C-alpha cells in the first residue's frame, strides 16, 4: 500500500514539473511612458468652470479680481489677487 502511494506521489510530482511552461525567450520591451516626454505647465483650477486654466488667466472670485500665477518654485500655480 505504501509503495503504491509513493509511486503515485512521484508520478504526480514529475508530471507537474514536466507540464510547466517557460516564458518566451525574446520578449519585446515595453514602450516608454508618454508622460515622461514633456512636463505639463502649471495650471489653476477654476471651480466655476469645472476645469483647469493656464497661467495668466484672469477671473473674479467673490468680486475680487484674481490672476492665475506660477508659485515661487515654478512647479505649480495659484490664484493671486492684485498686489497694492
17 lies in some domain? no
79 lies in some domain? yes
Alpha-helical runs (H) found in the chain:
2-18
CA distances from 59 to 4, 7, 19, 47 (A): 85, 82, 67, 11
Cell of 67: 490672476
Total domain count, the chain? 1
In a 10 Å sphere around its CB, with 0-12 CB exposed, 13-18 middle and 19+ buried, how is residue 53 labelled?
A: middle
Residues 3-62 have pLDDT tens digits of 776 667 667 666 655 555 566 566 566 666 655 566 788 999 998 889 999 999 999 888
Task: Tell me the whole-structure pTM to 2 decimals.
Answer: 0.51
23 lies in some domain? no
The C-alpha atoms of residue 62 and residue 31 are separated, in whole angstroms, by 47
21 lies in some domain? no
- Domain limits for position 54: 41-84
Query: Cα angle vertex 73, ends 72, 77, to 5°?
Result: 70
Residues 25-40 have pLDDT tens digits of 665 666 666 555 667 8
54 lies in some domain? yes
* CATH code where residue 65 lies: 2.10.70
Amino acid at each position: 500500500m505504501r509503495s503504491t502511494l509513493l509511486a503515485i506521489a512521484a508520478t504526480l510530482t514529475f508530471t507537474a514539473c514536466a507540464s510547466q511552461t517557460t516564458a518566451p525567450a525574446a520578449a519585446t520591451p515595453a514602450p516608454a511612458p508618454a508622460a515622461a516626454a514633456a512636463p505639463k505647465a502649471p495650471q489653476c483650477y477654476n471651480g466655476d468652470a469645472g476645469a483647469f486654466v493656464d497661467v495668466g488667466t484672469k477671473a473674479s472670485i467673490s468680486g475680487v479680481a484674481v490672476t492665475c500665477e506660477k508659485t515661487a518654485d515654478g512647479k505649480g500655480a495659484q490664484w493671486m489677487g492684485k498686489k497694492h
